[in-house]
Structure 1
Amino acid sequence: MPYRSSLRAGSFDDRIVLVTGGGSGIGRCCAHELASLGATVVVLGRNAEKLQRVVGEIHDDGGRADSVVCDIRDEEQVRLAVVQTVERYGRIDLLVNNAGGQFPAPLEHINSKGWQTVLNTNLLGGFLVSRECYTQSMKPRKSGAIVNIIADMWQGMPGMGHSGAARAGMLNFTETAAAEWAGIRVNAVAPGWIASSGMDTYPEAAKPLIRSLPKHVPLGRIGNEAEVSAAIAFLLSEGASFINGTCLRVDGGAPNARRHYPLMPAEPAGGFDGFHRATTPDIFKS
């Protein structure tokens, strides 16, 4: 059973796409979708085993994929990873800045090391990869598109203030790059609560809260990886050729819910799940 994308077959024929954080979660799903649409996908991350597993999956499905091991927080590693990719494939047409991570903690319990680690992962790393793809490949060719994955950080992120600050910075970077890097489209996607492997990384104490999330979403459910990937693929596609410097929310309307207006109980709205290799996070299996 192949990936069932909402875009037409061959939408990314002959395109070279770099996907950071491509070894799991949304990055893995997006890599599969883009490969199914004809792209050669290079997944980048720190864990070689995870990257190779995704590359093997894509090859088994008849797609083209490769991997580069890199810590996006390290400027020289990023430069060399992009050099390696450009030398191997001649160029990078498209970039999905998906790598990220955080840990739950109130502001008063976050020390400077923890704060800086999350900012480096979610803000500095995205900037470094974008800059290198732009300077090494996109600027000389005057062509390319970048999608930065951020998060629902509007009205703050209580319990994850370090991530909220980094994601807000990434949105501003997106808007600035869209203006400075003329000819290169730079957009963002902000996933809300998504059922991906990342849900299983949170501590036991957070699980009751995670399981309660659907009741806070107007659509009555949380999203899945394919729904986020569909938004990313669209923004990279020729159909989005005049969309630049914007952010597409994929959150079921959760930021629009208000305490003074209780959500009406209803059957969860149907979703789109085209990812043939998707797995349900353990937290939602029981």
Structure 2
Amino acid sequence: MGYRSLFAPGCFKDRTIIVTGGGSGIGRCTAHELASLGAHVVLLGRKREKLDAVAREITEDGGACSLEALDIRDEEAVKAAVARIVAARGVIHGLVNNAGGQFPSPLAAISKKGFDAVVATNLTGGFLMAREVFLQSMSNHGGAIVNMLADAWGGMPGMGHSGAARMGMLNLTQTAAVEWASTGTRVNAVAPGWVVSSGMDSYKDEGVKALIPLLKKEVPLQRLATESEVSAAIVFLLTDAAAFITGEVIKIDGGASCNTKIYPLEETSASKPYEGFHRAQAPKILGGEGKE
């Protein structure tokens, strides 16, 4: 059994697409879907052992991939990695700027070091990746970039550092979409809400862990997203079918960003999740087996 994508088989044949944060969560899922559709996926992340594990999965499933282990906050490392990819593959057709990370904290308790670290990962690192992919390939050949935001509309209490960075990425997406349009480069973004992903097991704070099973009650569709529902939006924005879409954001939050907190939400099980990822593993916090 392979990835159950809804997109046409082979639609990314002979294309090279980088996925940052490809060693786990949404990045792992997206890399699998792209590889199942014929892309050569370049997995990029800090921990080589995680990238190796995903690369083995993709190869076992019949896909093609390579990997680059680096910290996207390191400008020189990013420049060198993109240069190696261009030397090996010739053209970079797509970039999924997925890598990110944060920790729960009220603003008053966040140190400058902590704030800088989250902004560097969620904003600056994504900028460096996009800039180098553009300068070293897409400025000459065009391509598609999909950046990662989050449901931070109207603020992100408890994660203000991440919210600030994600909204910065929104403006970066819109700016790049205009500045790079003449080269045939499209730049869009996705903004997931709460996603059933291995990342949920990374939170150690007991208060946060207690909240996770309750999150669905704040979502109009009364459930959380699957990784494959986020991947499907990313993949669509990379396809030729999205050739006239740039500077846009697709919200994947079950209507949570529309919730006024005043309108009473009804309990429902009417919304059925799309389960495309054949290797998906629910986090332990939600009763799954998790993934190391």
**SS of residue matched to 2:223:** coil
Q: Equivalents in 2 of 1:107, 1:284: separation in Å?
A: 27
1:277 and 2:288 are equivalent in the alignment? no
Whether the 8 Å contact between 1:227 and 1:273 is mirrored in structure 2 is yes
Residue equivalent to 1:194: 195
Letter in 1 for 2:244: F
Distance 1:71 1:98, change over 3 A: same
Q: Percent identity?
A: 59
Q: Equivalents in 1 of 2:23, 2:271: separation in Å?
A: 29
Deviations for 1:205-233, whole angstroms, at most 9, x for unmatched residues? 21111110011111110011000000000
Residue equivalent to 1:176: 175
- Give the C-alpha shift of residue 268 in structure 1: 4.7
Deviations for 1:130-157, whole angstroms, at most 9, x for unmatched residues? 000000001022x100000110110100
Q: 2:234 aligns with which of 229, 232, 235?
A: 232
- Give the C-alpha shift of residue 258 in structure 1: 1.9
Kindly report which structure 2 residues correspond to 1:16-55, keeping only aligned pairs within 5 A, or say none. 16-55=16-55
Q: Equivalents in 2 of 1:100, 1:260: separation in Å?
A: 32
Letter in 1 for 2:243: S
Letter in 2 for 1:70: L
Kindly report which structure 2 residues correspond to 1:81-230, keeping only aligned pairs within 5 A, or say none. 81-141=81-141, 143-182=142-181, 183-203=184-204, 204-230=206-232
- Give the C-alpha shift of residue 6 in structure 1: 1.2
**SS of residue matched to 1:248:** strand
Residue equivalent to 2:12: 12
**SS of residue matched to 1:166:** helix
Deviations for 1:138-186, whole angstroms, at most 9, x for unmatched residues? 1022x10000011011010000000000000000000000000022000
CA-atom RMSD in angstroms = 0.8
Q: Give the structure-2-normalised TM-score.
A: 0.96
- Give the C-alpha shift of residue 255 in structure 1: 1.1
With 252-261 and 14-23 compared, the bigger mean Cα shift is at 252-261
Letter in 1 for 2:174: E
Q: Equivalents in 2 of 1:96, 1:272: separation in Å?
A: 21
Letter in 1 for 2:168: G
**SS of residue matched to 2:247:** coil
What is the number of equivalent residue pairs in this alignment? 285
**SS of residue matched to 2:66:** strand
Q: Give the structure-1-normalised TM-score.
A: 0.98
Whether the 8 Å contact between 1:189 and 1:249 is mirrored in structure 2 is yes
Q: Equivalents in 1 of 2:261, 2:32: separation in Å?
A: 38
- Give the C-alpha shift of residue 22 in structure 1: 0.2
**SS of residue matched to 2:13:** coil
Question: Once superposed, which parts of structure 1, at least 4 consecutive aligned residues long, lie more than 6 Å away?
Answer: none
